[in-house]
Amino acid sequence: MSELPRVLVTGASGYIGSNVVAALLAEKKYRVRGTVRDATNETRTKPLRDTFPEIELFSADLNKDDGWKEAVAGCTYVHHTASPFPSRLPSHPDELIRPAVDGTRRVLEACVEAGTVKRVVMTSSIATMSTGFVGNEGKPRGHVYTKEDWTDPEWSRCPPYEAGKTYAEKMAREFVEKLEGEKKFEFVTIHPAGVFGPIIFEPSTSLGLLAVLMKSEFPSVPDLMIPFTDVRDVSKAHVAAMTKGVSGERYILWTDTLSMRAFARILADEFNPQGYRVPLRNMWKTTLWFAQLVDSRVKMAYSWIRSYVKYENSQTKEDLGVEPTTAKESAIDTAYSLIEHQVVPKMAGFKGRENKD
C-alpha cells in the first residue's frame, strides 16, 4: 500500500471534491489525501471520515498560507477542486475573486516546493469560456464555444464568480508556463457546465435549481436555459485527466443546454405520481423580473433568460473517454439524492425508484 502514488484533492468535502475522492478510491491505485478548512473539527469532518475511512485529511484554507505545504508534500498528483461558489451575489466581487486566485496560487506554490508533483488537474468552469451561461460579448447566438474561447472578466456583464474563475485559470496557466527544469509539472483544466448529479455530503448551489422545482417554491417555471453536466462525469474526467489527458488542455464537460421547463417535465413525470407537485406552467417574464428583486437566487439566474449556449466537447470524449450522462438520468438521480439527504422532503406518496407501481 505504501508504494501507491499519493494524490491530493483540495476541497475534499465539497460537491465535486467528494466525488473525485470517491472515483480515486474506487480505482484502488492511489493513497488519497484531502484538504478541508479545519481537519480538527470532528463534527464537520466525521461524514467525510466515515464515508472514506482511508482518506488522510489536512487543514488548509484558500485564504491562508498555513497548511498547503504539508498537504502537498509527497504527492504525485493534485486535484484542485476547491473554489468559492456563491449561494447569492456577494456584496463585493473580491469576496469571490481573491480566494479563487490567491487560493490557486497557494496550491501551485506548494506543488513547486514539494518537488514530487507530476501533474495538477484543476477544476475550472465553462465560466472561463462563455461568461458562464450568458455568452461572450460580440458572439452571435448559436456560437459554439471551444477551448479557444475566453471570458472577458472586465466586461460589465461578467459576474464575480465568472470573473474569479477566469482570473484564477489565467494566473495558473501563466504560473505553470514560467516554471523551468525540475520545478516544472504538467497542468490540465476541467471545465464543467452547471453540475447536477447525486450528492455525497452537502448539495452545491447549482442543485438549488432542481430543489426549487421539487419543493414547488414557485408556482410556475422561469424561462431559463441551463448548460449542464453530471458530477459523475466530472469526477471521471478528473481521474482520467490525471494520467491520460494532454498536458495544457482545457477539457469541456457539457451534456446539453436545456430549459428549466424541460428539467421540470423530467421531474414531474417521475415524481408527481409520488405526491410531488413539480410546476410546469411557464413563468411570465414580468413575474420573473419582480421575483429577482426579492430572491437572491433568482437574481443570480436572471441573466440566463433565453441564453442558449453550446460547447464543443468531442476532445473530452476522445482523450478522456467520458460519455455524457443523459439529462433524464442526471435530473432523476439528483432528485432522489436530494430526497435521501433530506434537502427535499419525502412526500406521503413517495415510493422510491425501485418501488413505484
Cite the active site residues: 165
Can you read off the three cell numbers belonging to residue 256? 446539453
Chain-centre distance of CA 301, in angstroms? 16
SS3 191: strand
Instruction: Provide the Cα torsion 153, 156, 161, 163; round to 10°.
Output: 10
Of the candidates 117, 28, 23, the one whose C-alpha atom is nearest the C-alpha of residue 68 is 117
SS3 110: helix
Q: Is the separation of the CB atoms in 254 and 193 below 8 Å?
A: yes
CA–CA gap between residue 22 and residue 4 (Å, rounded): 17
Can you read off the three cell numbers belonging to residue 83? 473554489
Strands (E), 11-118: 31-36, 56-59, 77-80
With 0-12 CB in 10 A as exposed, 13-18 as middle and 19+ as buried, what is 302?
middle
Position of cell 453536466?
A: 229
Q: At what angle do helices 231-243 and 15-27 cross, to 10 degrees?
A: 50
Task: Please report, for residues 44, 236, 239, the alpha-carbon distance to residue 53 in angstroms, rounded to integers and kept in the order given.
Answer: 15, 21, 20
